[in-house]
Amino acid sequence: MTTASTADANASQKNQRRQYYDRIAKDHMTPLWEVLGALVPKQPNSPALPALWRYADLREKVLEAGRLITAEQAERRVLILENPGLAGQSAITQSLYAGLQLILPGEIAPAHRHTQSALRFVMDGEGAYTAVDGERTTMRRGDFIITPSWTFHDHGNLGDQPVVWLDGLDIPVVRFLDAGFAEHAPSASQDAMRPEGDALARYGNNMVPVDFYQEPADPTRVFVYPYARTLESLNQIASGKPDPHFGHKLRYVNPATGASPMPTIGAFTQRLPAGFETRPYQSTDGTVYVCLDGEATVSVGDKEWHLQPDDIFVVPSWQPLKFLAQRDTTLFSFSDRPIQKSLGLWREARL
User: Which of 86/256 has CB closer to ligand 1HN?
Assistant: 86
Q: Which uninterrupted H or E stretch holds 21?
A: helix 3-25
Give SS3 for 269. Answer: strand
Neighbours of 151 (CB within 10 A): 17
**DSSP result, 282-348:** EESS-EEEEEEES-EEEEETTEEEEE-TTEEEEE-TT--EEEEESS-EEEEEEESHHHHHHTT---E
**Total number of residues shown for the chain:** 351
Nearer to ligand 1HN, 185 or 231 (CB): 185
In the complex, the residues that contact ligand 1HN under the rule CB under 6 A are 76, 78, 99, 101, 109, 114, 116, 118, 153, 155, 167, 169, 171
Tell me the closest approach of the beta carbon of residue 120 to ligand 1HN, in angstroms: 7
Bridge partners of 78, per DSSP, are 101
Q: How far is the CB of 312 from ligand 1HN (least distance, A)?
A: 15
Nearer to ligand 1HN, 78 or 321 (CB): 78
| Least spacing, CB of residue 145 vs ligand 1HN, in Å | 10
Q: For ligand 1HN, which is the closer residue by CB, 118 or 259? A: 118
User: DSSP string covering 54-90, please?
Assistant: EHHHHHHHHHHHHHHS-HHHHSS-EEE---GGGTTS-
| Residue type for position 12 | S
Smallest separation (angstroms) from ligand 1HN to the CB of 144: 14
Closest CB to ligand 1HN among 74 and 250? 74
| For ligand 1HN, the closer CB: 155 or 271 | 155
Taking the chain, what is the end-to-end CA distance rounded to the nearest angstrom? 51
Shortest CB 71 distance to ligand 1HN, Å: 10
Which residues are paired to 159 by β-bridges? none
β pairing state of 303-307 and 296-300: antiparallel
Spatial separation of the C-alpha atoms in residues 253 and 269, rounded to whole Å: 11
Q: Which is nearer to ligand 1HN, 118 or 291 (CB)?
A: 118
**Please, which residue, 164 or 256, has the CB nearer to ligand 1HN?**
164
C-alpha of 125 from chain center: 21
Could you tell me the smallest distance in angstroms from the CB atom of residue 83 to ligand 1HN? Answer: 15
Residues 287 and 333 sit within 8 Å (Cβ to Cβ)? yes
d(CA 143, CA 154): 17
Please identify, using beta-carbon distances, which residue of 126 and 293 lies nearer to ligand 1HN: 126
- State the minimum distance, in angstroms, from the CB of residue 50 to ligand 1HN: 23
What are the backbone dihedrals phi and psi of residue 179, each rounded to the nearest 5 degrees, phi first? Answer: -125, 30
User: Shortest distance, CB of residue 267 to ligand 1HN, whole angstroms?
Assistant: 16
- Asked if residue 310 lies in contact with residue 124, where contact means CB atoms within 8 angstroms, the answer is yes
Query: What is the closest distance, in whole angstroms, from the C-beta atom of residue 84 to ligand 1HN in the complex?
Result: 19
